[in-house]
């Protein structure tokens, strides 16, 4: 195949997990590019088609919340938030390396979903004493987040996309050097008491295999799986080409260290365990979810594929065992919004994946907002089965949204999306 990586890279623009090829298209990638990322030939519906009442919740703390996790046990929604205006400057996962433009104010928020107030819900910004950050600055640079509900505490695992430093001087590398070596992402573990008032920093996971971490699926036994959305390529041409070369991976860490357990992924995103114990890995590039059985040695074996013809983002599991995933129906609009977060809101879609008794999957489109009226350009969605509420947040969005079902929570119904299914 005659392709000049540099020429290709220069025409690729990457945003929030999605890649656009501008000038150069070649047949082998046409399906991915046109069908999945640009969504030609798909009906994008207005929010009024869906039986939900949605509203935005704004506030200085509730912006650029890339990811969320619901503690079912304590009824607290944890959010990994940042600064909308800064995401375009600093986001190593998509090769934004302007260190001086990074957010200095990332925070973990605990929102009480049973305590609505006028403006939204009661929430607390969690202090993280004892967390060293870089050179003792104590700062987090939040991307993905997942928790584990314990009996007396909650463990939170976050992807911390921090800048790299010069090992001699300890100073941050400049933008030019970052473009060569990339950021220095680690996975941080915090332990929070049940009221989410006391936060204890537990440990940093730093490992050569934690290269472009996107999100984490803890096993609950101290080990975890995670996705490297660009595989080992932290920066440069191979980083830009990674989604089409499909060198993203699923990796695994335990006390013994970390290792890659499955390769060949095109921008693998926010993975999650299902209630069936299987591991679900969505792709922001290929429009599918790969389903894995985990093996006793930490390895994985693929057992199924679920096709959803949208670029997919972070998965979350609800109390009924259904998986929820946001899709981005219009990449062009998302791209523009990423660089102009206070401008027009891009359209958003929410899918629910239900595993039927016969083992096949049913995928329903639960929400869609073709005009970007109330939903954020969503990168994470969380469903509370008790109230039927759906919470949505977005990596660069200046607000989060909550949608209340108009009828009873158990009767959500919406347009179905036809899906294929692969038996492997
Ligand atoms: C980097 O960020 C700073 C601070 O926001 C901004 O002034 C500067 O223009 C940015 N540089 C580039 C190259 O985008
Ligand atoms: C899902 O979260 C990860 C961090 O987990 C973030 O890098 C990714 O962009 C999110 N999904 C998307 C696309 O935004
Ligand atoms: C990356 O982070 C690790 C863990 O915090 C640290 O030990 C290491 O010095 C950092 N490396 C660079 C190049 O910043
Ligand atoms: C680190 O700083 C030293 C001293 O300024 C410099 O000589 C070296 O080139 C720097 N290394 C990197 C990787 O930037």
Strands 184-193 and 421-423: unpaired
Comparing 411 with 223, which gets the higher pLDDT? 223
Q: Which residue has the tokens 């220095």?
A: 184
Q: What is the Cα–Cα distance from 365 to 45, expressed in whole angstroms?
A: 10
User: Which pLDDT tens digit goes with each residue over 170-194?
Assistant: 999 999 999 999 999 999 999 999 9
Q: Quick one: tokens of 165?
A: 């430093």
pTM for this structure?
Answer: 0.85
Identify the pLDDT of residue 313: 81
Q: What is the Cα–Cα distance from 315 to 353, expressed in whole angstroms?
A: 10
Which residues does ligand 4 sit against, CB inside 6 Å? 166, 168-169, 173, 177
* Window from 168-177, 329-338, 378-387, 398-407 with minimum mean pLDDT: 329-338
User: Which pLDDT tens digit goes with each residue over 204-239?
Assistant: 999 999 999 999 999 999 899 999 999 999 999 999
Q: Please, what is the average pLDDT of the chain?
A: 85
Q: Which residues of 277-316 are buried (b: 16+ CB within 10 A; e: fewer)?
A: ebbbbbbbbbbbbbbbebeeebebebebbbbbbbbbbbbb
User: Which pLDDT tens digit goes with each residue over 84-95?
Assistant: 888 889 999 888
Ligand nearest to the CA of 313: 2
Yes or no: say if 226 and 214 are a contact pair by the CB < 8 Å rule: yes
Q: Which of the listed residues 79, 314, 376 should we mutate to test ligand 2's pocket, taking the one with most ligand atoms within 8 A of CB?
A: 314
Q: What is the Cα–Cα distance from 66 to 118, expressed in whole angstroms?
A: 24
- Closest among 147, 150, 196, 201 to 317, alpha carbons compared: 147
* Window from 187-191, 244-248, 275-279, 393-397 with minimum mean pLDDT: 393-397
Strands 67-71 and 96-97: unpaired
Yes or no: say if 292 and 279 are a contact pair by the CB < 8 Å rule: yes
Which residues does ligand 2 sit against, CB inside 6 Å? 16-17, 66-67, 93, 143-144, 159, 214-215, 269-270, 284, 313-314, 379, 395
Yes or no: say if 290 and 305 are a contact pair by the CB < 8 Å rule: yes
Mean pLDDT, residues 54-73: 90
């Amino acid at each position: 195949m005659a392709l000049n990586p540099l020429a290709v890279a220069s025409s690729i623009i990457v945003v929030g997990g999605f890649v656009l090829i501008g000038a150069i298209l070649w047949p082998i990638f046409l399906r991915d590019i046109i069908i999945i990322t640009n969504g030609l030939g798909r009906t994008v519906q207005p929010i009024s088609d869906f039986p939900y009442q949605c509203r935005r919740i704004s506030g200085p703390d509730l912006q650029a919340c890339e990811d969320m996790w619901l503690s079912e046990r304590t009824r607290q929604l944890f959010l990994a938030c940042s600064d909308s205006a800064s995401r375009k400057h600093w986001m190593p996962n998509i090769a934004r390396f302007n260190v001086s433009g990074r957010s200095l104010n990332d925070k973990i928020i605990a929102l009480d979903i049973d305590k609505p107030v006028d403006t939204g819900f009661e929430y607390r910004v969690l202090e993280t004493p004892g967390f060293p950050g870089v050179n003792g600055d104590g700062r987090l640079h939040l991307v993905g987040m997942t928790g584990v509900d314990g009996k007396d505490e909650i463990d939170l695992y976050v992807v911390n996309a921090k800048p790299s430093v010069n090992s001699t001087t300890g100073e941050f590398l400049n933008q030019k050097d970052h473009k060569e070596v990339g950021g220095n992402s680690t996975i941080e573990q915090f332990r929070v008491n049940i009221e989410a008032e006391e936060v204890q920093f537990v440990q940093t996971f730093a490992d050569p295999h934690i290269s472009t971490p996107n999100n984490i699926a803890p096993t609950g036994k101290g080990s975890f799986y995670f996705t490297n959305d660009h595989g080992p390529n932290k920066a440069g041409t191979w980083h830009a080409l990674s989604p089409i070369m499909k060198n993203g991976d699923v990796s695994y860490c335990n006390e013994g260290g970390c290792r890659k357990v499955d390769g060949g992924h095109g921008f693998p995103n926010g993975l999650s365990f299902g209630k069936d114990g299987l591991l679900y890995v969505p792709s922001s590039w290929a429009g599918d979810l790969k389903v894995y059985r985990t093996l006793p040695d930490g390895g994985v074996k693929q057992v199924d594929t679920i096709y959803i013809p949208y670029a997919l983002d972070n998965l979350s599991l609800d109390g009924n065992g259904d998986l929820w995933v946001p899709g981005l129906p219009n990449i062009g609009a998302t791209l523009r919004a990423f660089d102009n977060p206070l401008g027009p809101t891009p359209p958003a879609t929410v899918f629910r994946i239900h595993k039927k008794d016969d083992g096949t999957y049913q995928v329903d489109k639960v929400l869609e907002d073709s005009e970007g009226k109330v939903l954020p350009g969503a990168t994470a969605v969380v469903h509370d089965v008790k109230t039927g509420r759906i919470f949505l947040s977005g990596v660069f969005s200046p607000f989060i949204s909550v949608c209340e079902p108009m009828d009873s929570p158990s009767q959500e119904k919406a347009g179905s999306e036809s899906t294929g299914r692969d038996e492997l």
